[in-house]
Structure 1
């Protein structure tokens, strides 16, 4: 059972309809969804499912087997009937903060060219990115660099390449801890900046804002040592 992932083409969809393929204690599988399934350091989306005669809160969307997305429900929630049409409603405020955060992490990569990320975690309130960086600049330097990139309001877009094209350009992968999913024959890219001269271009299946100006105020709150060379950069957003 494969779930069509609507957010790959439009991360701004807040509502949609879908058909129930399966429903059990492990969650609800739909034929399509706008809920991002947890992966790559980004949490799964939350929200609501509504159908004729009932509704249920989605606690988090997670990956299932063979391309399925499982919508795990709040404890005690009713299950929709298999075959029923359901209306999907996204917890937009939470998702949008994840989008702003995720794009900010890509901007952090852009100000450290040639430096690989070794781990990451995205959250609605705070996020962090780890780098193989023995002597990082001060946190104020990062904050100033990010503020300039946000103020420039660079466009953010997506595209696709083949797995063979990625193999020919391995430097496009900026993270050592998370590798792009393979097996579908193509890899999704997220580009920040103009297509001819991007500021950042790397494989990513996550959700992002459409321009850096939408991120708003961002601050590197602290730097943390996580080993001899590993440095953790913590970021927070304004409202």
Structure 2
């Protein structure tokens, strides 16, 4: 069973506003789970399981889910249960196009003031992704991938771009499991290009490499969604994957 780690998200706006606040901690954990791909499209949330995983009562879970529904990160079903949305091809295409625009700029800005410390951190995270992928440890792949991207975006230090990026990842994050776990789709080449461009202090090349990385996933998911009759990518596999992820 994949556990949610409450304090793992490498983001700024997603962190709790005050220590000891259970509601903030739960919301942070759920946001992190969505952004890093620990939840999958079509997955219906169990208050009992989430409460047990996060060590709290169902009440803060219910309140956090309601806030995420209001933010369009989750959707409420007619029976009042809550699930991760299944995006159709059009929505996926728009989502990943927006990611290329904003995250491309954030990468360029971060590259303009890159430090040796950041490069070392990114190298370490990318190696963690490679190692975990080779061992089939998808939980670690997802965590390290989210940290890799957000280490770059965080270095851009933009109060304008970061909330937008987080909002986009709340919607696109649940698709990460399928893209990173698809044979032959993911390798380290795009991340290596990003690292090489940043190390060379070439901001435009770094932006282009990030766009390539995002589109590799986006184009694949749009194609898969377009060839299926259901409402979103891998919707027929959602229940099976959810059993593995909860």
TM-score calculated relative to the size of structure 2: 0.27
Greater relative contact order (Cα 8 A, min sep 6): structure 1 or 2? 2
Specify which structure has the higher proportion of helix.
Answer: 2
Specify which structure has the higher proportion of strand.
Answer: 1
TM-score calculated relative to the size of structure 1: 0.28
